[in-house]
Amino acid sequence: MDSISVNDLRTEGDSTMAEIFLTNLPHDCSDLELREWVETRGIEVKSTRIILDLETGVAPAFGYVEIQNAEFVKAGAASLNGRKLRTNTVMAKPVQIVPRDFNRATVSP
């Protein structure tokens, strides 16, 4: 997919994501703390999402960071991978950019 630019994926009704998937986050890490940690590494953050367990409300130690520039997803993930957030060594990898067509008709079974 390296030969396709982000702009080639954008068409009317579609959206693309520029996200980094992070694991081994502290269980009590907040979206704000994650955002600040990522931004201290020079990455412009669009949004952060810590995933919470619906029943317990506790973070199961993973989340996503959406960055401003899709071209820097791989470099951003590489700069975060193996770094410490408090005492946890965070693992980071780029999320594949997936076009989503919101204009498609739903398929009935």
pLDDT of the chain, 109 residues: tens digit per residue = 344 344 443 434 345 678 999 999 998 899 999 999 999 999 999 999 998 877 877 767 899 999 988 889 999 999 999 999 999 999 999 997 666 666 655 555 5
pLDDT at 70: 85
Query: What pLDDT is recorded for position 103?
Result: 62
The 3-state secondary structure of the chain reads: CCCCCHHHHCCCCEECCCEEEEECCCCCCCHHHHHHHHHCCCCCEEEEEECCCCCCCCCCCEEEEEECCHHHHHHHHHHHCCCEECCEECEEEECCCCCEECCCCCCCC
pLDDT at residue 74, as a whole number: 94
Predicted TM-score (pTM) of this structure:
0.71
